[in-house]
Amino acid sequence: MVQIFLLAFALMLVIEGLMPFVAPRVWRETFRRVTELADGQVRFLGLGSIVVGLILMVIVK
């Protein structure tokens, strides 16, 4: 179980690193815009990410 968790974490780091590597200007602009959002909007984005991730996990498993 620990090995699967570490592999998933490693994959997340690879995916997270793609955007700043491929398009650093777009990545920086995106983060600037996110910092201007209200807390509720940021929470909604987080909730959306969680729901999409859970749906993908159910589909794949």
Query: What's the rounded Cα separation, in Å, for the pair 1 and 42?
Result: 31
- Please state the pTM of the whole predicted model: 0.70
Query: What's the rounded Cα separation, in Å, for the pair 48 and 54?
Result: 10
Provide the domain count of the chain: 1
Helix (H) or strand (E) holding 18: helix 2-22
Please say whether the beta carbons of 42 and 34 come within 8 A. Answer: yes
Phi, psi of 38 (to 5 degrees): -70, 160
Q: pLDDT digit of tens for each residue in the chain (61 aa)?
A: 899 989 999 999 999 999 999 999 999 999 899 999 999 999 999 999 999 999 998 998 8
Look up the domain containing 9 and give its range.
2-60
